[in-house]
Chain A
Amino acid sequence: MDIIIIGLLLGGTYALIAMGLNLQYGVARIMNLANGEMLVAGGFTAFWFYTAGNISPLLTIFVVAPVAFAANWLIYRIMLEPLVRRAKSRGQLEVDSILATFGMSFIAVGLMLAFFGGDYFNYSYLSVPVIIMGETYAQNRVVAFASAVVICAILYAWITFSRPGLSLRALAVAPDSARLVGINVRSRAAIAFALGGAITAVGGALISSFLTLDASTGVVFTLKALIIVIMGGVGDVRGTIIAALLLGVVETLVASLIDPGLTLAAAYALFILILLFRPQGLFGRKPT
Chain B
Amino acid sequence: MSSTEIQGFVFAALALLVAGALPYFGSDYVLSLGISIAMFTVLATSWALFSGPTHYISLATAAFFGLGTYTTGLGFESLPIWSLIILAGVLGAVLAALVGLATLRLSGVYFVIFTLGLAELIRQVITWGQNMTGQKGLYVLTDLTEAHLYQMLVALAALVFLVGWLIGRSRLGFALRIIGDDETVAAHSGINTAQAKVLLFMVSGAVAAMTGAILAPRYIYIEPSLAFTPLLSFQVVIMALLGGVHRLWGPIVGVIPFTLILETISANFPNQVTLFIGIVFLVIVYFIPRGFAGLIETVRNWSAWREARS
Contacts and interface: CB of A to CB of B under 8 A. Distances in A.
Nearest to A267: B117
Interface in A257-288: 258-259, 261-265, 267-268, 271-272, 275-276, 279
B120 A264 contact: yes
A120 B272 CA distance: 19
Given A31-B109, A113-B274, A279-B106, A265 B281 contact: no
Contacts of A105: 278
A105 B230 CA distance: 14
A107 B121 contact: no
B128 A230 contact: no
B117 A107 contact: no
B102 A276 contact: yes
B127 A107 contact: no
A107 B125 CA distance: 29
Interface string B105-118: 01011101110110
A227 interface: yes
B108 A107 contact: no
A223 B282 contact: no
Interface stretch (A6-14, A47-55, A94-102, A236-244): A94-102
B279 A107 contact: yes
Interface in A72-104: 82-83, 91-92, 94-96, 98-100, 102-104
Contact of B108 (A94, A102, A109, A111): A94
Contact of A91 (B55, B103, B271): B55
Contacts of A108: 278
Nearest to A263: B124
A80 B157 CA distance: 37
Given A99-B57, A99-B241, A102-B234, A230 B113 contact: yes
Given A99-B57, A110-B275, A272-B102, A94 B109 contact: yes
B277 interface: yes
A92 B56 CA distance: 10
A114 interface: yes
Contacts of A99: 57, 241, 281, 284-285
A56 to B, nearest CB: 32
Contacts of B110: 230, 275, 279
Interface in B226-272: 230, 234, 241, 271-272
Interface in B269-308: 271-282, 284-286, 289
A15 interface: no
Contacts of B273: 110
Nearest to B280: A103
A115 to B, nearest CB: 11
A91 B110 CA distance: 12
Interface residues of A, number: 45
Contacts of B114: 271, 275
Interface residues of B, number: 39
Contacts of A114: 271-272, 275
A217 to B, nearest CB: 12
B310 to A, nearest CB: 33
Contacts of B103: 275
A265 B103 CA distance: 17
B94 to A, nearest CB: 16
B282 A100 contact: yes
B3 interface: no
Contacts of A279: 106, 110
A223 B117 contact: yes
Given A227-B113, A276-B102, A83 B285 contact: yes
B131 interface: yes
A194 interface: no
A226 interface: yes
Given A110-B272, A114-B271, A262 B124 contact: yes
B220 to A, nearest CB: 25
A121 interface: no
Contact of A103 (B57, B121, B124, B279): B279
Contacts of A137: none
Nearest to A258: B128
A125 interface: no
A118 to B, nearest CB: 8
Given A99-B281, A104-B278, A262-B125, 5 more contacts: A113-B271, A113-B274, A223-B113, A261-B127, A267-B117
12 contacts: A31-B112, A96-B285, A104-B282, A110-B276, A111-B275, A223-B117, A226-B113, A258-B128, A262-B128, A264-B120, A264-B121, A271-B113
